[in-house]
A and B are shown apart, each in its own frame.
Chain A
């Protein structure tokens, strides 16, 4: 039996040693990468035409812009079609169990602040079976980015309604229409006091990339709801917003610092209502000063929440972009600070710890 240097808690851990060894072999961290560097040899197994492909392509071409080495990224997913995502990205990844990805990612991100941690989840995964983990991850604000692929259906289990399906949804499990009212994931996240909440459309490469960029830069938990078409079980769910004929009418693009004017010829706008919330108005019926200027950095979440409530479950008046982005200390940073503070009082000495409290000696 060899002995360990028990008195030296700050000696490099096997984690540091392993990373250092790998860098000796590979040279400096490679951070100048191309989209193809993030591809794996695994055959992508989504249905042809699935919105997940579009999102995968957008993410693959976006990731290099972060300048983070592949080995420093980890993607954790739950279960569902969307949760197959990690297999197709050449990073570290874990395809875990249904609903638990935020919890698993929390432990990883809290203990390894050096990593860029991502969660990929679906509407059923994140909001049904994993709802508890999602809201607690958001309020806790561990540094990670959650991509919630919302296709408003259970894809992998072949088409049951989900917690984001509209009331009256006819599916195999609800032949006479679903009865329960859907969650608005953005409202839910803001209600949980999430520090970053955004929404994007699978097919809108530019908009999606912009929201992803801001989410990735955010320190703390970022939630991005991505509307994703399931062309097998819920085809056309977002056509109202995608169709060039109707999309501009019902989409409210969110740009920080810009007035909330939208629709063909900017005919519609967002103003305050008399109850402290927001409402839609016709631009030519209100004074320009009444039009709300979007401010994602507001500390008080009630504005972002009101924004999220503008849309109805049939997707009319859907804000797209970053709803909220505020700075708060992140959990893993504060945890690291507590550890640091505790060590300032004296690094742990195992011998002393074991002999703590009242002790007595028995002589030979």
Chain B
């Protein structure tokens, strides 16, 4: 039989091939080959959708597909069961080629209850595959979300391929001999669902079984029940007539090497551990818990065997204060937070600017202002990172572009902080933090050696008027303008630093007007000078002669990249510029931007990078913004870019080139 391909026609248009197979009981099942799929799992916050999604992701990653994920959950730990605010979802796109986003819209939606259906159906394109847990469509649950009639019965789902499966009762049936009560057994329905999906998409199952054994080490009966439910779901897929097609998505060609699946927060934490090892310095993290940054604190707390000290402070200010104190003592001081925390840390960041001590400040951005949207993503702290302090207090700002890239960004943040004796802002966001992708595990030998950047001073570097040798803490390296850094315990190098303006070289308190002017400009010049140590602007322009460029920073890399691909496959030309360094910009950025007739800047804020680019380069950047707490959809971006390209060529038609 021909598989009715439940997925939207793949972008690359690979026709589905079918391979008839047979299932026990003589049922003929076919296998359809797809090049990519987007699945969204949606359920109640208590249904374990994030765990299910993460497991499916791990299976998919270890199978060798490329993938991107988008967890989306409410800020409340448990909103009332079965309600719209309580819906939690997890979307992933996986493919036999490299993918840049978790997908604009799902091809397959799994809805574990009426609320999940109501909240997500609008985004499932017509004809898409919809799997629902029919057990949950009770009058009470329907009423909770305002369904007057049961959508499974009233014909309203006709536009989709709806498969209604009693997931809950099949799970409890499968576990009736497990010794677990009904309520407890029901909780394994997510694993039943995972089993079913694992069958549908030919996912390897050993990883999940091992995971469940590990996870419930101390509760073997729960481990056994979950594994039984998982297997039951798999076998159900294999035998039922409800699903006659399963899908194969071949592994994606990837660069040779060893891979793992990694989330942004995990990669960031590992990058910080690596930075400690690469610099030889002990890592000290001072942090106060905040979504979506807390997982970095959790992860680093597990790596004490690397000499990593983690300090859960009484508040955000103490978190950064302790980190700065540790830096003064020669540690790699780090603080991790989100936007509200950065607001509180501002004064201490200024102190770090003035004392010229290394410090890494990680801001995992979330929707703002104020408490805003704690679990949703946004890029709206850029200007806060740039300017959110009193006085002229320049701070380098860098941003990772994908979950795995958080690792390299963390190492780079530490490099700049150490080499230039400066606080550095690392701007991740909720999408990167919780999203995941396969990550090529770097060879430790290929990582940069940060030890030369440390260079503690151990000898006097000047002399007093009478010729006595003395230590001048504000004598600078002529190239980097980094000041001399001597740590307590170093004999003969005692000195005092602080937030009051420093006299050049000696670091003594100085209120001299000319000195303040000089020091203010010097601190700025030091940060500007970092540009000399960073690579030129990263431009992806396969055709080489695009007239329109799209520029972005941070987590928009994937959606912009996917949009650019669409544009190119339509025969148009576009350049993608993506910034790792936002302060300072790469030295050639101005020249690069000047090459294009049009520059578009998509951001998940109201145009913060665009403002900086316009101010610095006088380029008429076209800002395209969105603050929905979700990443851009690449189709929408593609439409914006296409418009820009078509109107640019129209306006230039006939004009001398």
Give A contacts to B, CB under 8 Å.
Answer: 1-4, 6, 9, 11, 13-15, 17-19, 21-23, 25-26, 29-30, 40, 42, 69-74, 76, 79, 86-87, 90-97, 100, 103-112, 114-115, 132-133, 136, 335, 338-339, 341-343, 345-348, 350-351, 353-364
Contact = CB atoms under 8 A, between A and B. Distances in A.
Interface stretch (B10-18, B105-113, B315-323): B315-323
Interface in B482-535: 486-500, 508-509
A108 B207 contact: no
Contact of A94 (B281, B355, B509): B355
A13 B259 contact: no
Contact of B326 (A6, A87, A108): A108
Contacts, number: 274
A3 B444 CA distance: 8
Q: Which 5 A-B pairs have the closest CB atoms?
A: A95-B498, A107-B322, A103-B321, A107-B325, A348-B306
Given A71-B493, A132-B315, A338-B304, A1 B261 contact: no
B326 A348 contact: no
A79 B354 CA distance: 15
Contacts of B350: 97
A15 B281 contact: yes
A342 B304 CA distance: 6
Contacts of B451: 4, 14
**Chain B interface extent, by class:** 35 or more
B329 A108 contact: yes
A127 to B, nearest CB: 15
Contact of B492 (A6, A25, A112, A343): A25
A92 B495 contact: yes
A133 B258 CA distance: 46
B496 A106 contact: no
A6 B351 CA distance: 33
Interface string B325-349: 1111111010000000000000110
Contacts of B458: 18, 21-22, 25
A182 B328 CA distance: 35
A275 B261 CA distance: 64
A14 B456 contact: yes
A76 B499 CA distance: 12
A26 B324 contact: no
Given A14-B451, A42-B508, A339-B309, A95 B280 contact: no
Contact of A346 (B305, B309, B313): B305
Interface of B: 58, 61-62, 64, 207, 251, 254-261, 270, 273-274, 277-282, 284, 286, 303-307, 309, 311, 313-315, 317-318, 321-331, 333, 347-348, 350-351, 355, 441-442, 444-449, 451, 454, 456-459, 486-500, 508-509
Contacts of A359: 62, 258-260, 441
B355 A360 contact: no
Contacts of B500: 95
Given A103-B318, A132-B314, A353-B270, 9 more contacts: A72-B489, A74-B328, A105-B325, A108-B325, A110-B322, A339-B304, A343-B304, A359-B258, A363-B256
Residue among B255, B259, B355 with most chain A CB within 10 A:
B259
A97 B330 contact: no
Contacts of B327: 107
A70 B494 CA distance: 7
A90 B58 CA distance: 57
B449 A361 contact: no
A136 B273 CA distance: 27
Contacts of A96: 321, 351, 498-499
Given A14-B454, A103-B322, A106-B325, A348 B303 contact: yes
Given A92-B495, A114-B489, A107 B323 contact: yes
A107 B324 contact: yes
Contacts of A111: 282, 284, 309, 325-326, 329, 331
A14 B488 CA distance: 13
19 contacts: A18-B458, A19-B490, A29-B491, A71-B493, A76-B325, A86-B498, A92-B495, A94-B355, A95-B498, A103-B317, A107-B311, A107-B327, A110-B284, A111-B331, A136-B313, A345-B305, A348-B303, A350-B277, A354-B270
Given A71-B492, A95-B499, A355-B258, A100 B321 contact: yes
* Chain A CB within 10 A, most for which of B309, B321, B446: B321
Given A107-B321, A107-B333, A353-B303, A348 B273 contact: yes
A227 B279 CA distance: 45
B492 A353 contact: no
Contacts of B279: 14
A363 B258 CA distance: 9
A123 B279 CA distance: 40
Contacts of B447: 4
A17 B487 CA distance: 11
Given A22-B491, A94-B496, A133-B321, A15 B270 contact: no
Contacts of A14: 279-281, 330, 451, 454, 456
